[in-house]
Amino acid sequence: MDVRRRSVLAAGAAGAAVAIGGAGTASAAALGAQHDHRDPDSLRELAGKTGLRIGTATSPQALTIPARAAIVAGQFSLVTPGNEMKWQVVEPTQGVFDWSGADQLVAFAKANDQLIRGHTLVWHNQLPTWLTTGVGDGTISDSQLRDLLHQHITTEVSRFRGKIWHWDVCNEFLTDSNPSMIDPNRFWAAHLGEGVIADAFRWAHEADPGALLFYNDYNIGGEDGSNAKADAAFTLVRGLLDQGAPVHGVGIQGHLDTQFGWSPQRLQQDIERYASLGLKVAITEADVRTFVNNATDQVPTSSLELFAQPYEFSEMLKAALAVPECVSFTVWGFTDADSWVPGVFTGEGYATPYDVNLNPKPAYFAMQSDLRLAAFGAPKRAHTRTPHP
């Protein structure tokens, strides 16, 4: 997620195993281990009927609140650490590692029969200060920087070998321009060149050959009217495949805003296009923001947004369901109480499927309805007599 841009517990939490401990690594025993009575109408159970993993980004802090932990466990079959696997967090001081947050989320997911998306290995944001300062003042050369990146990827992926379903290996390398291209001014390309992308995928694959490796970006699924950035993403991953790089999928972030145009048809076409390369596809960071009264209550200022927000969530999900190669759909935080949107986009919010009080919103019920139809199909019509002339 690039923070600089962007064109009731009763809802299925029953019977979930949840984490209620504080900081540090949680044990499976502390988290509980009963999965026998999941709500059949929860998002995770309905999505599971189609093979789609439905996910959310979350944090260890959120999981210390029983009501939030219960929703994560009961509604979702896939977890993304919002920050806990980023380089800035796991190695705040060079050579000194803090895996506590990541370990807690991995333990929570294991206890609740969930998979994990690792996020993210190579990104120009949220890098440790010791790294960016060293590069900036010349005490870390570009050659040393390459070695440090190799070491970082190997260390982190190896630590969680066999525990991560997908890794977002490289995140947000493309420009928002038309035509779009790899941004030569962003940190990694500026210092190590475009070849660092293929190298990163190779290093990650060497550390865990069983993990699926994704390129992840925003505005590459119908948000861009020209589809220029989606074109660039397609060209990028096709080129990586031509080089023999172990790329397995494309992550479409899916950050939408109801004030901007967006084409669900183009989203499906883009998913199909990435899939045509033999790749898996994932919606990785879905949310739909709109204008709200304030950052605390997050009530839309227009009643029309009460219809627009769930519509766009529904259309995103239906596009994902329509293409078998789309294997997961993740919302970027499930509750407005934790959403990143109000802190970044002044005057906007209401971006998730649950409100600030943890009540499911119309978007939740729209997604639930879509998943129910995908899982079971429309019921057959009641038999009626027909007239015979």
Count of C-beta atoms within a 10 Å radius of residue 27: 12
Q: Tell me the C-alpha distance between 191 and 136, whole Å.
A: 11
Of the listed 285, 312, 315, 348, which one is catalytic? 285
Stretches where the chain sits below pLDDT 70 are 1-37
CATH of 28-375, one of 3.20.20.80, 3.40.50.300, 1.10.10.10, 3.40.50.880: 3.20.20.80
Domain spans of the chain? 28-375
The confidence score (pLDDT) of residue 38 equals 87
312 is catalytic: no
The confidence score (pLDDT) of residue 107 equals 98
CA neighbours closer than 13 Å in the CB half-sphere of residue 199: 16
Of the listed 91, 172, 305, 325, which one is catalytic? 172
The confidence score (pLDDT) of residue 27 equals 40
Q: Tell me the C-alpha distance between 20 and 68, whole Å.
A: 10
Nearest to 6 by CA among 317, 290, 292, 300: 290
| Chain length of the chain | 389
Pairing of strands 280-291, 255-257: parallel
3-state DSSP of the chain? CCCCCCCCCCCCCCCCCCCCCCCCCCCHHHHCCCCCCCCCCCHHHHHHCCCCEEEEEECHHHHCCHHHHHHHHHHCCEEEECCCCCHHHHCCECCECCCHHHHHHHHHHHHCCCEEEEEEEECCCCCCHHHHHHHHHCCCCHHHHHHHHHHHHHHHHHHCCCCCCEEEEEECCECCCCCCCECCCCHHHHHHCCCHHHHHHHHHHHHCCCCEEEEEECCCCCCCCCCHHHHHHHHHHHHHHHCCCCCCEEEECCEEECCCCCCHHHHHHHHHHHHCCCCEEEEEEEEEEEEECCCCCCCECCCCHHHHHHHHHHHHHHHHHHCCCEEEEEECCCEHHHCCHHHHCCCEECCCCECCCCCECHHHHHHHHHHHHHHHCCCCCCCCCCCCC
223 is catalytic: no
Ramachandran sector of residue 236 (left: φ over 0; alpha: ψ -120 to 50; beta: rest): alpha
